[in-house]
Amino acid sequence: MTNPNTDAAATTSADLAELLELLDLERVDDDLFIGQHGDQVMARTFGGQLLGQGVVAAGRTLVKGAPPVHALHAHFIRGGDVTEPIEYHVDRYRDGRAFANRQVTAKQGDEVVFTMLVAFQDNSAGLAHAVEIPEVPYPEELPPLDEHFKGYEETIEAFVNALHPVDIRFANDPAWVMKGTGEKLTHNRAWMKADGVLPDDPLMHVATMAYSSDTTVLDSIITTHGLSWGHDRLFAATVNHSMWFHHDFRFDEWMLYATESPVAAGSRGLGSGRFFKRDGTLATSVVQEALIKYFPPRD
C-alpha cells in the first residue's frame, strides 16, 4: 500500500484534508468514538460520512495484524443532525486470526441514526474470476467536475457547495447536463480518486472509498427515466448500503465507478456499482437501496 509520494501535506486538497480530519475520530473509550461534522453540510448527515466514520470506528478496535475489511452492510435509520456530533458505539462479535466481526451503532442522544456490520477476513488463494472493466476514456481525457457545474450553479446548488474531497471525472454527461439534451441512460461511469495523497493506512483508503461510494450510485435510477437532481422534484433517502472488497487498492489512484440500476419499485430504487482499478481489476462491489420519489409537474 506504500505510495512513493510521501509529501502528503503538499499534495492534499483542503477538502480532502477536512475529510481526513472528519475520519480521525476521537476515542472516548475502547469501543466508543466521537465523530464531528464539517463546515460544509446539507440538511442531514451525508450517508458517505456515516459509512466512512463507521469503518474507522470498527477498524480501530482491532489488534495489530488483524485481517482487512472484506464487507460491510449498513442501514440508515434516521437523518443525522448536522449541528451535533455523532457517537459511534462498537460491539465486538469475533476476533480471530483470519476473521473478525464488528457492529457499529451511530447515535445522537438516545436516537440511533445508523447501524453497520463490518466483516474482516484474510485474503487467500482460491477460485478467481470477474467481469471486465467497461470501455471508457481515461480520466486524463475527461474534464474535471467543476466544468460540469458551469451554468448549473443554481440548479444543483447543494452539490456545488458540498465538500469535494474526491476528484470525479464523468465518462458520460452527469444527470443535470443530460436533462438539457433529453438523453436517458441506464448506467453511469465516473473515474474517482482522493483529491490528494492518502495516508498509507489501508483503513483510510477503505473509509474514503466508502465515503465516495455514496456519490453517483443512485444516478442511474433517475437517468433511466430522463430525470435529474435539481431540475426535477425528487426526494431520495438511502435505506441501506453494502460493500464487498475483493482486492487491495489505493483510493488516491484512479478507479472507475461503474453504476447501474437493475430495478425501481415500491417507491424504492436499487443502485449497484463496481470500483475497478485502472488495470481492470475489480476491487469492490457496491449495492445501495434508497427511498426515491418523483413528483411530476402539475398540468
Cα dist from 36 to 110, 159, 216, whole Å? 17, 20, 24
200 is catalytic: no
224 is catalytic: no
Q: 16: burial class by Cβ within 10 Å (0-12, 13-18, 19+)?
A: buried
Residue 251: how many other CB atoms lie within 10 Å: 24
Among residues 33, 52, 65, 48, which one has the least CA distance to residue 214?
48
| Catalytic, out of 61, 238, 259, 284 | 238
Instruction: Return the SS3 of 8.
Output: helix
Give the Cα separation of 74 and 266 in Å (integer).
Answer: 20
**Residue 14 belongs to what H/E stretch?**
helix 14-23
H helices of 185-224, where?
202-213, 219-223
| Catalytic, out of 15, 195, 214, 252 | 214
Q: 77: burial class by Cβ within 10 Å (0-12, 13-18, 19+)?
A: middle
259 is catalytic: no
Which amino acids are annotated catalytic?
214, 238, 288
